[in-house]
Amino acid sequence: MPQKRNKVLFLDDDKSFLDVLKSLMASYARDAWEIFAATDTGQALAIIQEQQLDLLVVDVHMPVVDGLQFLSLIQRKYPNILKVVLTGDASEHYRAACLSNGAELFLGKPATAEGWQSVYSTLSQLIRFQPEEGFRGVLRRVGLQDVLQMECLARHSLCLEVSTQSVQGVIVVREGEIIHAEAGGRVGEEAFNYLMSLKGGEFHLRPFAEPPTRSITGSWEFLLMEAARKVDEARGEAVEDGSGETAEHDAGVAGADAAALPRSDETGLASKPQIDEVLVCSIQGDVLYEWQCRDANKRVSFLEFLSQKARQLGQGLPLGEFERLEIQGTDSRVLAQIQQDRAMLVRSSQAPTERTG
């Protein structure tokens, strides 16, 4: 089976430089890259619409629409394309602006052959972390909750299409917030909860498209927890009715995290912290230790993404070395820590206990 060639687009208004750059990168990449070139944003957009690009490399200073504006446009329309700035004006002002508008890396144009080899090596390493767009998942193994959680944490904009033999639906995420869902005649939270309760099917990540209306206004954390609660209640009712619905069904319905999410405190029960899952991996992505991780690969991908963004923060803001990220929900907490030789993720929740006294 032939190896997949990564599709890379270089955008620069200097045609002579672009010709040299394309030839140089082709000599480094050999058959690993399929290289495209554009001298203006119109040409670039046409290529992006026709090709499923893995990487876009853009200059900052261009006429009509500059690189910074183009980055912002691509971030909204095609959030899954990796974006790198390659410029002769490597000022801190442009660096911070480009990184905040969706660029994964900000690189200066080198003056030596060794420098260009380093640029190629950097871009090649970056492509290795590109998630596969339009992947197919069986919900018994990979949950919609996991997918939505990672995309919302990354503040992406996209459309998540969900389908079974009898149902087609979509969940729309804009800059990390779930803003719309529809499935059949259902719209809003009703459609969202319905899609999250499906036993299995297919899902695809598509470029963001503005929905006809914003039907959901709540936080994504609450939406996922509420959907998990409804699935949990349905499981309890099924057990009481003797309908034969098993925990395996629930794992398929709600994804990897649903069973671990706690109920609300409306029952009058007190709560105490409990560890729900732990994962430790090497900086190369090898799992060193895991406990109760139903999808270790997803957790490793999240830690790799976090490590990459941490480097960007270090480049764009004088905040010092990244140590850890804490995400605090209503009844759950995630701690991710990145070290030089390993990374760790711990997820905990509040377990209900009977009140004393």
The pLDDT, as a whole number, for residue 295 is: 82
What's the pLDDT at 169? 92
Domain residues of the chain, as ranges?
Answer: 6-127, 144-260, 270-353
Structure confidence at residue 260 as a pLDDT band (50, 70, 90): very low
pLDDT for 309 beyond 50: yes
Q: Quickly state the pLDDT bin for 214 (edges 50, 70, 90).
A: very high
pLDDT band at 317 (very low <50, low <70, confident <90, very high): low
Which overall architecture, per CATH, does domain 6-127 show?
Answer: 3-Layer(aba) Sandwich (3.40)
Count of alpha carbons within 13 angstroms of residue 235, beta-carbon side: 19
Residue 25 confidence class, pLDDT cut points 50, 70, 90 = very high
The Cα 348–Cα 357 span in angstroms is 27
* DSSP E strand stretches across 186-312: 186-187, 202-207, 270-282, 287-291
Best CA proximity match to 29, nearest among 152, 120, 164, 135: 120
Average pLDDT (313-337) is 73
Least confident of 41-50, 60-69, 141-150, 215-224: 141-150
- Quickly state the pLDDT bin for 191 (edges 50, 70, 90): very high
Top-confidence residue, 47 or 225: 47
Least confident stretch, 34-38, 100-104, 139-143: 139-143
Residue 183: closest CA among 203, 162, 200: 162
Positive or negative torsion for Cα 47, 153, 312, 26: negative
Give residue 216's pLDDT: 94
Top mean-pLDDT range of 61-70, 242-251, 254-263, 317-326: 61-70
Burial of 64 (C-beta count, 10 Å sphere; 0-12/13-18/19+): exposed
Q: Which CATH number fits domain 270-353: 3.40.630.10, 3.50.50.60, 3.30.450.30, 1.10.760.10?
A: 3.30.450.30
Residue (of 146, 143, 191) closest to 168 by Cα position = 191
Beta bridge pairs of residue 204:
161
Note the pLDDT of residue 3.
61
CA-to-CA distance for 234 and 84, rounded, in angstroms? 46
- 140-166: average pLDDT: 75
pLDDT at position 96:
79
pLDDT score of 354 more than 90: no
Question: Residue range 299-328: average pLDDT?
Answer: 73
List, for residues 109-134, the tens digit of each pLDDT value.
Answer: 888 888 888 889 888 888 875 544 44
Mean per-residue pLDDT, 295-305: 82
pLDDT above 90: residue 189: yes
Residue 343 three-state SS: strand
> Is the model's pLDDT at 356 over the cut of 60?
no
Distance CA 229, CA 264 (A): 8
Q: What is the mean pLDDT of residues 312-337?
A: 72
Q: What is the token pair recorded at 295? A: 């999808």
Mean pLDDT across the chain, nearest whole number? 76
Average of pLDDT values for 89-105? 78
Nearest alpha carbon to residue 274 among 296, 252, 291 = 291
Q: Answer yes or no: are the C-beta atoms of 260 and 349 closer than 8 Å.
A: yes
Query: Would strands 270-282 and 342-353 be described as parallel, antiparallel, or unpaired?
Result: antiparallel
- The answer on pLDDT for 257 being more than 60 is no
